[in-house]
Amino acid sequence: MSNNREDRSFSPSDHPPRRVLGIGMALHEETLIDHRFGRIINANIAECHMPVNADVHDIRVIFVGEADDSNPLGVKGVGEIGIVGVAAAIANAVYHATGKRVRDLPITLDKLRSETAGREHADVQ
């Protein structure tokens, strides 16, 4: 995204779908592996649950009009940045609400009810 108004006009409409994908990553998407054969069991899009309008309400995107002098054109990247922090933010919100840290996505009730949920790894200081 540059400081030029025409160049950033698409970004506000481009980010909400990325946020929705981040919500799906945090709460729905799971890769199941058959450990006998090392294959992914659910390797098709038909079994992938995607959040819909009922799952996601109003999403507002606000850009900070700050100059970026790190490159000669003043360009800021907006690509995958919309999806990166969403799952971590949801995991932190769940932790603050429940006191249990889930480190394996998706975050499910089974994982929150688990006896091991919230325990820190022994090798983490």
Is 78 within 8 Å of 17 (Cβ atoms)? no
Residues designated as active site: 80
Domain 5-113 class?
alpha beta
Domain residue extents for the chain: 5-113
Q: What value does the mean pLDDT take over residues 118-123? A: 48
Tens-digit pLDDT profile for residues 37-54: 999 988 887 877 888 878
Query: Which tokens is 93 given?
Result: 């919100």
HSE (CB half, 13 Å, CA atoms) of 38? Answer: 0
Q: Which residue has the higher pLDDT, 106 or 114?
A: 106
Query: Which tokens is 77 given?
Result: 């990247």
Pairwise CA distance, residues 98 & 46, whole Å: 32
Pairwise CA distance, residues 122 & 74, whole Å: 44
Tens-digit pLDDT profile for residues 58-84: 888 777 777 777 878 777 777 677 787
Contacts of 105 (CB under 8 A, 6+ apart): 25, 26, 29, 30, 87, 91
